[in-house]
Amino acid sequence: MADGPDARSPDVRSNAHFDKLRLIRSANIGPVSYFQLLARFGTARAALDALPDMAMRGGGKSPRIAELREIDAEIRAVEKLGARHLFVGRGCTRCSSLVSRVPRRS
């Protein structure tokens, strides 16, 4: 891994990154819902807090939100492999260059 501030992976144990992982790993939250929730509520934490009320108002039951221990286990597994999570959006100065290196299927 290269040196310098941009070479560091985001601290996924920081509240914002941890919450983003919890949101995207929650039941019935796919990439479209994830980005819509972030756009609507501003943060993953606010979106997580709003999910039960949104489901209730929509006539459904509260979705299964990913457990803290599940996310912590994922973070440890990723770190053990020497990998890192990429979070697209503000604060990810290297995401677009890293994502552009992923081979595309033909």
pLDDT in tens, 25-44: 999 899 999 999 999 999 99
d(CA 6, CA 70): 28
d(CA 49, CA 61): 14
| Residue whose pair of structure tokens reads 């033909």 in the numeric block | 106
Distances (CA, A) of 80 to 11, 54, 73: 14, 36, 10
Position 84 scores a pLDDT of 83
Q: Show the DSSP H helices in the chain as ranges.
A: 15-24, 31-41, 44-57, 68-80, 95-100
Query: Is the pLDDT score of 20 beyond 80?
Result: yes
